[in-house]
Structure 1
C-alpha cells in the first residue's frame, strides 16, 4: 500500500509540474526554431535541461537561500513569453516612469526586447561599445561567445537556468582597455501592461584592463502590471578596471521580479554597486561578486523601501579568493504597512586570502508594528590574518532624537519625515551622478509616508 501511495504521489507531482511549466515548454520550443549559432544553442539546451530537472525553488525544507521568500506565487502562475514589440511607449511616457533625460545615452528594452525608437546611442562616449545582445550575437562578437553564460551558473538556481534557456536579447557593453568613460550609460528595461507575461533580460558587461565606466540599470513598469521579470547580468572586470554600477527597481506593485548579478573581478579592480528598490510586489535580488585578483575591492550599497504587502529579498554574497583585498557591504531598509524585507548573504574568505579586510551590515527602520524584516549576515573564514566583521539592526527611532528636533520648533510629522530621510540619505548621497541623485531624492521623498513617530 505504501508503494502504491508513493507512486500515486509521484504521478500527481509530475502531472502538476508538467502543467505548471507547460507554457514555458511551448515557448522554449518556439524559440528553438529560431536561427542561432551552435554555441548558443548548446548553452540554451543545457540550461533548459537543468531547469526541467530542478524547476523553480519552491521547496521549503533544505532551501536555505529562499528560506524567508516563498516563490510559489511565481511558480504557480501561467506566464507566457512576452511578445516582440508589445506595449511600445513614447519617449515622453518613458520619461514619466524612468530617470532618462535628453543628452544621456540609453538602451531601452520593452518586455525584454530592444527598442530602437526609444534608445539613444548618439552620445555614447568614445571607448565604449554598446549594442543589443541579439545584434552582438548575430555579428559573431568573440567577447560575447567567450563570456556569455560563464559566470551565471545554471546549476545554482532554477531562475538562472530559465533565463539562460531563453537567452535571445538584452544589453551588451564592452569598455575598451584603458578607456575612461565619464558619462553614465543607462539600460532601461520596461515591463508594459501585458498581464501574465514573463521576460528574460540578459546583460553582459566586459570592462577591459585599466578602464573605468558607469552603468545605470533600471527596471520600471506601468501600474497594475502583473508580470515576471527574470533578469541575469554577468559583469567582468579585468585587471585595474573600475565600474560604478547602479541598479534601480521601480516596477508595478503587482509585479514579480527576480534579478541575478554575477561579478568577476581581476587584480586591482574596483566594483562599486548601488541598489535602489522601491516598487515591486514580490522581488528578489541575488548578487554574487568573486574577487579573483590581488588588491581588488568591492563596495556594495543598497536602499530598499517596502510598504503595503510588498516583499523584497536581497541575497548578497562576496567571495574573497585572493589575498590583500577589501570589501564593504551596507544595505538599509525602510519598512511600512504589512510589508516584509529579507536580507541574507555571506562573505567567504578562502584559504590563502590573507589580509582580507571585509565588513557587512544591514540596518532597518521599521515604521509599522505589522512590518517584518529577516536579516541574516554571515561570515565563513578559512584564512588567518584577516579583518572581518558583520552586523544587523532593526528598530524605530528613539525618543531622544525626536525630542531634540521638537525642541527646535519642528512639528512631529516634519521631524519624522526628516529623520526617515536622514536614514536613507546615507546611501542616496553616495550617488555620483547629479541627475540620478536628484531623481532618487525625489523618488524616496515622495514615497515617505505621512508618519508620526509615537512612543
Structure 2
C-alpha cells in the first residue's frame, strides 16, 4: 500500500475545470502543503484518525465528475411536505435544469463568479482540508439573498453523490445574505454509491446587518462515506444565525462549524444531534468567536451512541478583550448504550474580558433505568419505552427547527432510528 502524503494526494487535483480564483487557489495550495494531512499528534484531530482512514479507503485518488439525475429521482429525494426552492447538485456540480421552484432566486455556478472572495471567511490556514478545497475545488454555487428580502419557504440544497472507489468530491458554497433579510437553508445528501469515497466541502456564509439565517443539515450518508465539512459564518450587527446539524450515519465524519460574531447584538446558535451505531465515527468541532460587546451565543449538542460507534465533541468559545457584556453558553450531553461505544468531549472557554456571563459543561451516562422501569410498569414494552426516553433526550434539539414540515421529517427520521415510533 502506498503512503498517502500531503503531496501525492494534492497532485491529483492540480488541474481544475475552469479558470479563475488563481490567487485564492495558490494560497490554498501553499497552506495545504505547509499544514499537511493531520495525524493523531495534531491537537485538533487527536481523536479522529482521518488520514489513516483516507489511506485505507482511497487507493486510486481522483476527482469525481458530474452526472445526470432524472426529474423523478429529484422529486423522490425531496422530504415529504417540503414546498420551497430546490437546488440540485451531482458530485458538487450545480444542475440548473433539475432545480425546482427557484423563482427569482439569485444563484449561479461559482465558476461564473470568479470575483467572489473565497477563503476570506473560511480561511485556508485554519484547517488543512479547507486549504485543500480552496486549492482544488472544481465548482460550486454562489447564492445571493437581496437586501430586505424575506424568503418564507426554505431553500433546499439537494446533493446527489455517486463516486467510484477512491474518488473525491469537493463542493464549495458561497452565500451572501443582504441587510435586513431572512432565509432558511436545508442541506441534504443522497448517496447513490456504496464504494468508499471522500467528500470535502466548504461553505462560507456572509450575513448582513440585521439578517436572520437558519442553516439545517442532515447527514445520513452511506456506511462507507468519509466526509469533512468546513462551515463558517460572519455575522454583523443585529444579525442572527442558527445551525441545526443531525448526524445519523457515515463511516467517518468531521464537522467544523465556526461563527464569527462581528457586530453588537449579534447572536449565534449551534445545535446538534449525533445518533450513531455500528462503527460510525462523527467528530463535531465548533468555534464561536466573540469579538465585540453585547453579543450572545448558545450551543447544545447531544449524542446517543450504540455498538462500537465513536463520537467526538470539541466546542470552543473565545471572548476577546473588547467583548464585554457577552453571553455565551455551551453544553454537550451524551448517552452510551454499549460498553464499546466511546465519546470524547471537550467544551472550552477562553475569556479575555471581565464583564461576561459564560458557562459550559458536559455529561456522559447511560439510560435512566428507573425511568425505563416506570414506563414498563405502565404497560409500555421495553423497546418502545427505551425509544421514548431516548427521543425525549434528543428532541430538545429538534425544537430549534422552525420550519414545521422539515421538523416533522427530522422527527420521523430520529424516531425510526431510536425505535420510538408507534
Q: Distance in 1 between matches of 2:131 and 2:344?
A: 27
SS at match of 2:34: helix
Cα distance, 1:430–1:17 mapped onto 2, change above 3 Å: closer
After the TM superposition, which of the residue ranges 93-102 and 69-78 deviates more from structure 2? Answer: 93-102
Residue 274 in structure 1 maps to residue 244 in structure 2: yes
Over 3 Å counting, the alpha-carbon distance change for 1:341 and 1:35 in structure 2 is: closer
Q: Which deviates the most, 67-76 or 197-206?
A: 67-76
Query: Under a length normalisation based on structure 2, what TM-score does the superposition of the two structures give?
Result: 0.93
Structure 2 counterpart of 1:309: 279
The alignment partner of 1:27 has SS state of coil
Alignment of 1:190-269 (within 5 A): 190-222=160-192, 224-269=194-239
The alpha-carbon distance between structure 1 residues 102 and 328, as it changes in their structure 2 partners (threshold 3 A), is closer
**2:19 alignment partner in structure 1:** 36
**Separation in structure 2 between the aligned mates of residue 95 and residue 226 of structure 1, nearest angstrom:** 26
Aligned mate of 2:111, from 134, 137, 141: 134
Counterpart residue number, 1:27: 13
Conservation of the 8 A alpha-carbon contact between 2:236 and 2:261:
yes
Aligned-pair CA distance for 1:248: 1.6
Q: Which residue of 1 aligns with 2:93?
A: 113
- Residue 389, structure 1, aligned to residue 359, structure 2: yes
Q: Offset of 1:390 from its aligned partner?
A: 0.5
The runs of at least 4 consecutive aligned structure 1 residues that moved more than 6 Å come to: none
- Rg larger in structure: 1
Distance 2:360 2:110 in 1: 38
Q: Residue 147 of structure 1 aligns to a residue in which SS?
A: coil
Taking the aligned partners of 1:430 and 1:252, their CA distance within structure 2 comes to 26
Larger RCO, structures 1/2 (Cα 8 Å, 6+ apart): 2
Give the 3 Å change call, closer, same or farther, for CA 380–415 of structure 1 in structure 2. same
Note the residue ranges of structure 1 that are not aligned, 5 or more in a row: 1-14, 138-144, 451-455
* Mapped contact 1:103–1:123 kept (Cα < 8 A): no
Measured in 2, the distance between the counterparts of 1:75 and 1:223 equals 17
SS at match of 1:155: helix
Equivalent pair of 2:80/2:405 in contact (CA under 8 Å): no
Cα distance in 2 between the residues matched to 1:35 and 1:399: 59
Q: 1:102 to 1:427 in 2, by over 3 A?
A: closer
Following TM superposition, by how much is the alpha carbon of 1:439 offset from its aligned partner in structure 2, in angstroms?
1.6
Q: Does 1:351 align with 2:334?
A: no
* Structure 1 segment 179-194 matched on structure 2, within 5 A: 179-194=149-164
Any stretches of 5+ residues in structure 2 without a counterpart?
A: none
Q: What is the Cα deviation at residue 223 of structure 1? A: 5.4
Measured at CA, do residues 249 and 79 of structure 1 come closer, stay the same or move farther in structure 2, by a change above 3 Å? farther
Matched-pair contact (CA < 8 Å) for 1:219–1:250:
yes
User: Is the contact made by 1:222 and 1:251 (CA closer than 8 Å) also made in structure 2?
Assistant: no
Aligned counterpart in structure 2 of residue 443 of structure 1, from 398, 413, 421 = 413
Deviation at 1:74, TM superposition (A): 4.2
TM-score relative to the length of structure 1: 0.87
Query: Structure 2: how far apart are the matches of 1:359 and 1:315?
Result: 16
Task: Give the aligned partner of residue 92 of structure 1.
Answer: 72
Matched, 1:51 2:37: no
CA RMSD of the aligned region, Å? 2.1
Equivalences for residues 289-328 of structure 1 within 5 A: 289-328=259-298
